[in-house]
Structure 1
Amino acid sequence: MGTYYTQLGISSAMIGAAIAASIIHDINVNDLNAQGFPGIDVARGDTGFDISLNYRGHSVSFGLSEAEAKAAVKQVKSTGTHHKPIFDRVQEALASLESLARA
């Protein structure tokens, strides 16, 4: 279950889905060296959202502004594809998480 942010018209579950779309795109393009899919946690931060990717006891975090989160959700809902402006951050976090899990 997610938290719905009425003033933004999006939920934490929708933001998580947008992050998942970027992860799936990365898997399709670059392959994923891990067995399984990372957990995605979305929390409200001071100026936007704090995103945590979790895998086998390891965690990597990054932030999204409210505008970025809204745009990413809109992209996924309208086209089913990842939102290019946040992709690099998601990809970097995923690479860091993979590295931690291999150590």
Structure 2
Amino acid sequence: MTDDPVTVWTIIVLLGLGTFLIRFSFLGIIGDRKLPAWILRHLRYTPVAVLPGLVAPLVIWPAATGGQPDLPRISAAVAALATGYLTKSFLAAFATGAVTLYALLYLTG
């Protein structure tokens, strides 16, 4: 990356403007209007699509182990996935994954 301050600030301003415009398109332009049912149906799947993309790299390539997969993280992910599938509860899946991860990290050292 370049160390030129003008280039860095240009990138920061353009990214900030882009982020603002993306949010404004939903909140400012159509924020007070009723969205069609087909859009609302698709928006329900946004968290389900984003969360695995955030969690999977932390399970498969954890920074804590130098990028090597390990049993506690994979076991916690499987336990959380199974609990979420069976109970349909995010909080139960989160709690199960957290307890499994910390218990296995404690037991394995």
Fold equivalence (TM over 0.5): no
Determine which structure has the larger strand proportion and give its number: 1
Q: Which has the higher contact order (CA 8 A, sep 6+)?
A: 1
Whose radius of gyration is greater, 1 or 2? 2
TM value normalised by structure 2? 0.30
